[in-house]
Amino acid sequence: MRSPTELAQVFRDKQLKLKPQRQLLFSRLHQNKSHPTAESLYEIASKQMPGISLRTIYQTLGELAEMGELQLVDVGIGATRFDPNTGDHHHFVCESCRAMHDVDILTSPKMSLRRGGGFAVNEVGVVFCGRCNRCNHKQQVRSPESQAKDKASN
Amino acid sequence: MRSPTELAQVFRDKQLKLKPQRQLLFSRLHQNKSHPTAESLYEIASKQMPGISLRTIYQTLGELAEMGELQLVDVGIGATRFDPNTGDHHHFVCESCRAMHDVDILTSPKMSLRRGGGFAVNEVGVVFCGRCNRCNHKQQVRSPESQAKDKASN
DNA sequence: TTTCTGATTTGCATCTAATGCTAATTGACA
DNA sequence: TGTCAATTAGCATTAGATGCAAATCAGAAA
């Protein structure tokens, strides 16, 4: 995703308005490596701009995605994640805390270009599931409360 | 997934009952390569057993998945698919008709075992997106009605 | 600066997919 | 045949997301 300043220019060029809600989201998303959901962005944005609507978050995220500024990542568990890193890469998801991390591409180009069974492949998504570093170090039996705590601290 | 007969035995051994609803689902799932959703199984099952509950479909699918007889495939668009092929393989999804097809594994074992960035990887899911054979041959502009028709015929 | 207008925001209703809960039913064994 | 726990089915509820319409407002034009 481009910088907030660059995005502002893009929006101006397209005759789109630069409301403070958008600018806030631009800045919260730029170089954000946490793969936030709409809800988590809503919480973050609400701190700076109480009263901002969740609907607006969805709206803006959708627009940015459509403009190719954001990558949508949906691994099937929970909500869609939004990734400002639009380069060629894949994702690791921790089964325990659900944190998501970028994984630099390691599939061979052949894999992406492969045609098999008559399919024309446009995209290849690879999702690695497992336990992240942090969760690996907490191997004890965990209470649901402490798991909830984990989740909240992401 | 094992055959309906084998499954019946497994269920008996576990003191689980063999209601006709279950037996129907066993037979509809066995060697089913269509990657059905709960809803689509519901439609199919309803034809043979009008009045069967969608809740029962979800229930039974969940049990079979927990027993390792079914693989859950969730690519983030629409509902979870259920795959009786529990072997090591991946999936192709057609962006146009949403049909899903098995793709025999082509990731190297190294990829599955890989550890990177401190992650302990348990599973690697690869999803290929594109256009299937059939949809590739219908490149004309399509009306929403004809697309709906496609969807219904899966 | 003021006016105007269409883009944005927001709140609410709605939707899909799925699960929780409970009363009623029933398979299978004694 | 009777018993009882497993199962079913219906209904409520949830999470995540989108559709819609009224109110608001950024920014161009006057």
Lowest mean pLDDT: which of A68-77, A86-95, B79-88, B139-148? B139-148
**Same domain, yes or no, for B95 and B65?**
no
Output DSSP code: residue A50: T
Is the pLDDT reported for residue A25 higher than 80? yes
3-state secondary structure of A55: helix
Which of A89, A119, A129 to mutate to probe the B interface, most B CBs <10 Å? A119
Protein B12 CA to nucleic acid D2 C1', in Å? 21
Residues B63, B95 share a domain: no
Task: Please tell me the predicted confidence (pLDDT) of residue B84.
Answer: 98
Residue B53 domain-assigned?
yes
Nucleotide nearest to B54 (CA to C1'): D9
- Beta carbons of A66 and B82 less than 8 angstroms apart: no
- B75-121 pLDDT, tens digit each: 988 999 999 999 989 999 999 899 999 998 765 544 544 555 678 88
Residues A58 and A119 in one domain: no
One domain for residues A114 and A68 = no
Q: Which DSSP helix (H) or strand (E) runs through B71? A: strand B71-73
C-alpha A55 chain-centroid distance: 17
Distance CA A61, CA B120 (A): 31
Taking alpha carbons only, the member of A130, A109, A112 closest to residue A120 is: A112
Q: Which two structure tokens, joined as six digits, stand for B149? A: 């028709």
Residue A60, CB, less than 7 Å from strand C? yes
Measured CA to CA, the distance from residue B40 to residue B43 in angstroms comes to 5
- Is residue A98 a part of any domain in this protein? yes
Residue B119 sits in a domain whose CATH number is: 3.30.1490
- D9: residue with closest CA to C1': B53
- A82 inside domain: no
Write down which residue in A40, A73, A106 finishes a domain. Answer: A73
What is the number of structural domains in chain B?
2
The reply to whether B142 and B92 lie within a common domain is yes
Q: Tell me whether residue A83 is in a domain.
A: no
Sign of CA dihedral A105, A5, A17, A60: positive
Of the residues A73, A102, A119, the one at which a domain ends: A73
Contact B119 A92 (CB under 8 A): yes
Predicted TM-score (pTM) of the model is 0.86
Residues B97 and B140 both lie in one domain: yes
Asked whether residue B78 is assigned to any structural domain, the reply reads no
Q: What angle do CA A61, B72, B78 make, to 5 degrees?
A: 35
Q: What is the CATH number of the domain that holds A43?
A: 1.10.10.10
From the list B85, B88, B38, B32, the residue with the least C-alpha distance to B60 is B38
For residue B148, what are the domain limits? 88-152
Are B69 and B99 within one domain? no
Q: What is the DSSP string of A70-100?
A: SEEE--SSSSPEEES--SSEEEEEETTT--E
Percent of chain B at pLDDT exceeding 90: 66
The answer, for B79 touching chain A at a CB cutoff of 8 Å, is no
User: How do strand B89-94 and strand B120-131 relate by DSSP bridges?
Assistant: parallel
Is residue A79 less than 8 Å (CB to CB) from chain B? no
Chain A residue with Cα closest to B137: A118
